[in-house]
A and B are shown apart, each in its own frame.
Chain A
């Protein structure tokens, strides 16, 4: 049982480049999330999805886009990378919201230079 799988683990981008962070879960969870983690700031929600075809903005969505065409996959797109997007990105999934625990991937460390 793989849980939540994120790829790549590390990436270096140049300013203005684009990339997609991949996230897949095999637990048939409806809810999926993208967080970014910056030192001393905790985790901030970028986007989330409550099911295939349904996405919504979180606390820090600027500079990112998402899609959810299947229950399993929830990719995060950076269109024009900026140094402010240097961070560690975590994908997570859950069966529901509120009381349900989140299952996290192991993260993607992204540097924009």
Chain B
């Protein structure tokens, strides 16, 4: 089965600073990759996804992610963080050996300081 690792449990950035959240997956072929965001007290919302093609994908709310096969990574980035970006972020991969069901990472909690 595939697995997803998000090495950072918490990250704190200043408002206006750039952000990068790390995600590594284990899978031999090109996986289906996703980033979801969970605001406090809410369900998860899809930020962006990658299946094939251009390795830099754009999502909602100004986020982007880059797929790097050589590093088995799919890191999420934003050039300038807003206070409203404070949330928990989950990387996920569709597990081809598990009926394409999503496997989620443990999540990264983003705190934004003013």
List the interface of chain A (C-beta within 8 A of B): 4, 33, 35, 40-45, 48, 58, 90, 92, 97-99, 101-102, 104-107
Contacts and interface: CB of A to CB of B under 8 A. Distances in A.
Chain B at the A interface: mostly helix, strand, loop or mixed? strand
Interface string B50-74: 0100000000000000000000000
A23 B9 CA distance: 30
A102 B102 CA distance: 9
A40 B42 contact: no
A99 B90 contact: no
Given A97-B94, A101-B34, A101-B49, A42 B104 contact: yes
Contact of B94 (A4, A40, A99, A105): A99
Nearest to B1: A59
Interface residues of B, number: 24
B101 interface: yes
Contacts of B9: 40
B43 A104 contact: yes
B101 A58 contact: yes
B30 to A, nearest CB: 12
